[in-house]
Amino acid sequence: MHTLHTTEAGFEAARHLPTLPAGHPQQRLHGHSFVARLRAATGPAWRHFPGSEVSQLREHLAAQVQALDHRLLNDTLDTPTDTQLALWLRERLQADGLTQARVDVQSTARGGVELDPQGHPHLWRRHVLYAAHQLPNVPAGHKCGRLHGHGFEVLLHARQNAQGTVTAERLDALWAPLHRQLDHACLNDLPGLENPTSEVLSGWLWRQLAPQLPELSAVTVYETASCGARHDGTDYRIWKELTLDSALQLRHAPDGSPLRRIHGHTYTLRLHLCAPLDAVMGWTVDFGDVKRLFDPLFKALDHQPLHQLPGLADCDAATLATWVLERARAELPALDRVDLYETPGCGAVVAWNEAAALAL
């Protein structure tokens, strides 16, 4: 079992990027509402008591970005790109003893940078398309067999190279002809998308882009805000996201700590599954089946006092995510990771293997 804790912190800052081509708008002084995200392994030194890791990590990241908040970033870094900001934060956090620290920096709703476990930056860009589809191979009566539509979101992830040719402008330019094909269209009408599941669409996009973009590292397709698929040229991964409104208390919190009192969260629970693509159905696991098979556990968690769950040692995010992963795999054997967030971006990632835990 591999466990990482996660947190995020926002900061407001100005910058200008002098190395960009003449006339580029970001050469001029401008500002962003940045979000920094951290996923890291935490040892005993990173907790006042078992279960305090999330709150301590949140406080620590907030203190680090305080050095950037409401400042001109060029006073800290000569060229404060998203990549350089992420690497600057990662270096400081690793110096503080956080191992496997993976730092992401997002500067706009459309893009940012993710650092992989080795610290290599991956630029990502978000694109939206409005399209219809139907799944021709589903059983009779399945709702996805009817023609319907989605506001899909597609994230393109590409590893930045030493030559500096992987840029937001290049990703946008490569996306443009695909957008013209896919947007306001019926996906089934396009060659190769006769069975346009999220997995098939992510693989189709990979095959269109990879020959032109060898640095491509993943294609993520959000079918809805709560489910989607990702393809990296080899594996297909899907996720299903749920929210839980639950009560809890932390048994190991010291007397006087607010965490020892009964309180509550609106949790975000994300189930990750990895499996071969079914040749007929075009999916790894049906999103509807994930929801249906997980439903008994969902009912045991939602609108419940979590501290009364049998077999649950405590109610911190990591212990609870582990409890979910161990029990859900009986019905969902492809499940290899559970993310549980107490508040946006703040919680724990628990996975059966290191690759799943550290995946972008």
Residue 51 phi, psi (nearest 5): 105, -10
Q: Which of 53, 114, 199, 223 is catalytic?
A: 223
pLDDT at 99 over 80: no
Inter-residue contact 94 to 86 (CB < 8 Å): no
Instruction: Give per-residue pLDDT as tens, 308-323.
Output: 999 999 999 999 999 9
pLDDT of residue 356: 86
As separate numbers, helices (DSSP H) first and strands (DSSP E) second, the chain gives 7, 14
- Quick check: helix, strand or coil at residue 113? strand
- Quick check: helix, strand or coil at residue 242? strand
Q: Which of 30, 142, 148, 184 is catalytic?
A: 184
Longest dimension (CA), the chain: 64
| Alpha helices (H) along the chain | 53-65, 82-95, 168-182, 198-209, 287-301, 317-328, 354-358
pLDDT at 97 over 90: no
Q: Give the residue carrying structure tokens 């501290």.
A: 307
pLDDT of residue 76: 96
Instruction: Give residue limits of the domains in the chain.
Output: 1-119, 120-234, 267-360
Label residue 83 by pLDDT band (50, 70, 90).
Answer: very high
Buried b or exposed e, range 273-290, using 16+ CB within 10 angstroms:
bbbebeeebbbbbbbeeb
CA–CA separation, 295 vs 337, rounded Å? 17
pTM: 0.93
Q: Is 144 annotated as catalytic? A: yes
User: Within 10 Å of residue 119's Cβ, how many Cβ atoms?
Assistant: 14
Pairing of strands 71-72, 2-15: parallel
CA–CA separation, 89 vs 37, rounded Å? 10
pLDDT of residue 280: 85
Q: Is 346 annotated as catalytic? A: no
Q: Which of 8, 53, 144, 274 is catalytic?
A: 144
CA–CA separation, 179 vs 292, rounded Å? 33
Helix (H) or strand (E) holding 243: strand 236-248
Pick the CATH number of 267-360 from 3.40.640.10, 3.30.479.10, 3.30.450.20, 2.30.30.30: 3.30.479.10
User: Within 10 Å of residue 46's Cβ, how many Cβ atoms?
Assistant: 18
Q: Is 274 annotated as catalytic? A: no
Instruction: Give per-residue pLDDT as tens, 220-273.
Output: 999 999 999 999 999 999 999 999 999 999 999 999 999 999 999 999 999 999
CA–CA separation, 223 vs 197, rounded Å? 9
CA–CA separation, 123 vs 151, rounded Å? 23
Query: 185 is written with which tokens?
Result: 């269209």
Residue 322 phi, psi (nearest 5): -65, -45
* 1-119 and 120-234, same CATH topology: yes
pLDDT at 65 over 90: yes
Residues 6+ apart with CB under 8 A from 32: 12, 13, 15, 107, 108
Superfamily of domain 120-234: 6-pyruvoyl tetrahydropterin synthase/QueD (3.30.479.10)
CA–CA separation, 200 vs 144, rounded Å? 15
Helix (H) or strand (E) holding 336: strand 335-343
Q: Which CATH class is domain 1-119?
A: alpha beta
- The CA-atom distances, in angstroms, between 240 and each of 9, 48, 119 are 24, 33, 28
Instruction: Give per-residue pLDDT as tens, 181-198.
Output: 999 999 999 999 999 999
Label residue 359 by pLDDT band (50, 70, 90).
Answer: confident
pLDDT at 126 over 90: yes
